[in-house]
Amino acid sequence: MVFRSTSLGIEVRDDAIRAVLLGKRFGRIHFLWEGIIPLAAPIQEEGVSPLQRAAEALAVELKARKARPEAIVLGLPRRAVTLRELKLPALEEEDLRSLLEYEAERHLPFPPDEGFLDFQILSKGQGTSTVLFVAAEKATVEGFVLPFQAAGLAPTAVSVSSFAAVSALLYGWTAGERSLALVALQPREAELALVQGGVLRYCRSVVLSGSLDPVLEALEGAVGLLNGAPEASRQIVVEGEGELREELALKLLERMGVGIAPFSLSKKLKGPTTFPPLAPLGLALVGLGALASRIDLLPGELKPKRWEKGLAVMLGLLGLIVLIGLSLLFARVAKEWFLLKELEERVSGMQAMVEEAKKLAADLSRLEGELKTLERLEASSPRRLEVLRELATVLPKGTSITSLTIDGDGLKLSGSAADAASFVALLEASPIFQQVEFTAPLVTRDREKGRQEFQLKAQLEGSK
């Protein structure tokens, strides 16, 4: 049996949408097509947005090519999402998600219930996990997704374009082998991503405003972070066409003495004679399951509805019964025909019962999952969530925690705050902390804002 699959990656830019279509046969990925569709000015009489018109043009192009992608991955611009790199306790992924949902309000510029969030573990250390936390407002995600749904190209996943572009450059390389800075130039903005040792460490959107100086300033900091990487693996890759790219190349040489590195895509990708756009290429690779990227901001209510196998079998059997009934209609007496109608009514009643049973099974599965999460938390560290809740209650608003370690009955905490000197008294007044003391002198890094960096330790109630 020949197994085939296709995936369409779509990047939404400020002036156009870019798409790449990939196919997978016998485990090998082949490049099939790429296209760029400009975002034209809106026509007031039609009442259709430029994005929907571009999506409709893309649907027409795919129909002409008789392409029906099984996966459609939409990439949001970096400016449309909130990104944080967080250090959290080393928990299982399900427990980390529960903790992030509890802590989301501290990291988002909008209420958590008005957005969609996801995360990916970047690395694990001794007792901690480094997590990439990504979120976007519901209205923003729907504003990008709904025009494609209206055009008949319902996305199956939503990611971030700059993440996908980096993933396309890293595809086929050994983990930890590459360190690079990627700049994706657009007419009015640039997206900058930094990869260190094969791990995404930094990503931001820069408004150009007629000058490339903000990009150069960001690149200077990025190159500084790459100084710890081997010389052969450090690169600055610039994607973009025309005068902007040439101007940036000249300024890099003049200001930093660094040249632009050529693209270096994996040889595992078969077909393209020229380099396809990086972001939609990476998004299409995500749709084929070829990348480790797990960021998906598409909520369940916006995902395309797909029939489950059991329901498809049931409907197939029902169709078979109907066909048998039609054939017997001409060969049997009226009595047998009425018996068949009765059987069809029973099948319809059973189908309603099956749907109700599926809903009950889903509720049961959800409750079992929540119970298992609580049991795991209680088994691994019975007091961990209690300590986290107490810290969130006791510590003043605006406190930033950079490290938290709970080891047996001991607690170590570090971070920064406006009045860190008062933390000993605040924690001692808590019913679960005792013997609170600073392990290092308070340090004021930002005197203008008056923030102090602190390190302290404490014993939990009941410890000896």
Q: What is the pLDDT of residues 95-109, one digit of tens each?
A: 888 888 888 888 888
Residue, of 69 and 121, whose pLDDT is higher? 69
Instruction: Return the pLDDT at 108.
Output: 86
One-letter identity of residue 301: E
> Residue 323 above 80 pLDDT?
no
**292-296: average pLDDT:** 77
> Is the separation of the CB atoms in 194 and 288 below 8 Å?
no
Q: Give the pLDDT confidence of 212-260 residue by residue, as tens digits.
A: 888 888 887 766 665 554 444 467 888 877 788 888 888 888 887 778 8
**254-283: average pLDDT:** 77
Range of weakest confidence among 11-25, 50-64, 143-157, 303-317: 303-317
Using pLDDT thresholds of 50, 70 and 90, give the confidence band for residue 2: very low
- Token pair for 448: 């203008």
**What pTM did the predictor assign?**
0.63
One-letter identity of residue 370: E
Q: How far is 386 from 291, CA to CA, in rounded Å?
A: 37
Instruction: Return the pLDDT at 76.
Output: 93
With a CB cutoff of 8 Å and minimum separation 6, the contacts of 255 are: 216, 220
> Residue 1 above 50 pLDDT?
no
Instruction: Return the pLDDT at 380.
Output: 53
Give me the helices (H) in 65-133, please: 93-103
- Name the most confidently modeled range: 50-54, 342-346, 408-412: 50-54
**Cα dihedral 152→155→156→158 (10° resolution):** 180
> Is the separation of the CB atoms in 451 and 418 below 8 Å?
yes
Q: ∠ CA 409-133-21 to the nearest 5 degrees?
A: 145
- How high does pLDDT run on average in the chain? 81
- Please tell me the chain's helix, strand, coil percentages from 3-state DSSP, rounded to the nearest 5: 40, 30, 30
Instruction: Return the pLDDT at 229.
Output: 47
Q: How far is 403 from 128, CA to CA, in rounded Å?
A: 9
Q: How far is 11 from 120, CA to CA, in rounded Å?
A: 21
- Write out the H or E segment, with its range, that includes residue 345: helix 334-380
Instruction: Return the pLDDT at 308.
Output: 44
**48-67: average pLDDT:** 92
Phi-psi region of 209 (alpha: psi -120 to 50; beta: other; left: phi over 0): left
Cβ neighbours, 10 Å, residue 411:
22
> Residue 58 above 80 pLDDT?
yes
Range of weakest confidence among 180-194, 212-226, 310-324, 362-376: 310-324
Using pLDDT thresholds of 50, 70 and 90, give the confidence band for residue 344: confident
- State what percent of residues in the chain have pLDDT above 70: 83
- Name the most confidently modeled range: 39-53, 121-135, 266-280: 121-135
Instruction: Return the pLDDT at 61.
Output: 94
Instruction: Return the pLDDT at 3.
Output: 41
Place of tokens 């040439």: 246
With a CB cutoff of 8 Å and minimum separation 6, the contacts of 10 are: 17, 18, 19, 58, 72, 73, 74, 75, 148, 153, 155, 280, 283
Cβ neighbours, 10 Å, residue 459:
17
> Residue 309 above 50 pLDDT?
no
Range of weakest confidence among 46-60, 130-144, 223-237, 381-395: 223-237
Q: Give the pLDDT confidence of 397-452 residue by residue, as tens digits.
A: 888 888 888 887 888 999 988 888 888 888 888 888 888 899 988 888 767 777 88
Instruction: Return the pLDDT at 272.
Output: 65
Strand 234-239 to 179-185 pairing? parallel
Using pLDDT thresholds of 50, 70 and 90, give the confidence band for residue 121: confident
**314-343: average pLDDT:** 72
- Name the most confidently modeled range: 87-96, 128-137, 144-153, 347-356: 144-153
